[in-house]
């Protein structure tokens, strides 16, 4: 079990935050390109999922798996998007992503008047707290 990386996008598609932990393979794209590609895919999956759904459901798109990793998605009512890649055996991290939003993002970014909304986060305290939170997760096991 492990955590690979985390993206936070705002509702305009700006990547507010990115960090990787155990990512072994890189996309070969510039980081900016990668963010755009990721946001575009999330955007498309969201509309795909809501259009193709055969039944009404509340949550919309929450995750997808490939043979090697699982991508978890959480969106707030204000349009913030949290995307985390983990190994396959992590079941659901909805609560963890909600925690990152409410206890870390709101607390250290939104409530900090000096942090501009809609721009990449450069709050040191947010980054430190997030990093130690992720590292403390039960499914964060560093594979060296």
Partner 1 sequence: MSRQSGRSSDPRKVSQELFTLTYGSLVSQLVKDYESDEEVNKQLDKMGYNIGIRLVEDFLARSGERRCNDFRETADIIAKSGFKMFLGITPTVSNWSAAGDEFSLVLDNNPLTDFVELPEERSQLNYSNILCGVIRGALETVQMDVNVRFVQDILKGDNQTEIKVKFIKRLEDAVPAGEE
- Its sign, for the CA torsion 65, 42, 79, 2, is positive
Least spacing, CB of residue 13 vs partner 1, in Å: 5
Residue closer to partner 1 (CB basis): 26 or 58: 58
**In Å, how far from its chain's centre is CA 47?**
18
Residue closer to partner 1 (CB basis): 88 or 110: 110
Least spacing, CB of residue 78 vs partner 1, in Å: 5
Residue closer to partner 1 (CB basis): 13 or 120: 13
Structure tokens at 6: 């985390």
Residue 22 CB contacts under 8 Å (≥ 6 apart), including other chains: 2, 3, 4, 142, 143
Least spacing, CB of residue 65 vs partner 1, in Å: 23
d(CA 28, CA 88): 23
Q: What is the contact surface with partner 1 in residues (CB under 8 A)?
A: 11-13, 36, 39-40, 43-44, 58, 76-80, 98, 101-103, 105-106, 110-111, 117
Least spacing, CB of residue 29 vs partner 1, in Å: 14
Identify each DSSP E strand in the chain by its residue range: 3-9, 15-20, 63-65, 70-75, 81-86
Residue closer to partner 1 (CB basis): 78 or 132: 78
């Amino acid at each position: 079990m492990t955590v690979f990386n985390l993206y936070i996008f705002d509702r305009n598609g700006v990547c507010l935050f990115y960090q990787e932990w155990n990512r072994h393979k890189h996309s070969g794209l510039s980081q900016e390109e990668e963010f755009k590609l990721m946001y575009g895919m999330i955007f498309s999956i969201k509309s795909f999922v809501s259009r193709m759904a055969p039944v009404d459901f509340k949550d919309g798109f929450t995750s997808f798996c490939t043979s090697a990793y699982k991508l978890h998605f959480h969106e707030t009512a204000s349009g913030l998007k949290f995307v985390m890649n983990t190994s396959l055996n992590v079941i659901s991290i909805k609560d963890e992503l909600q925690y990152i939003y409410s206890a870390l993002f709101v607390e250290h970014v939104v409530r900090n008047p000096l942090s501009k909304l809609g721009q990449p986060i450069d709050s040191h305290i947010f980054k430190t707290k997030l990093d130690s939170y992720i590292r403390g997760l039960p499914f964060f096991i560093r594979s060296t």
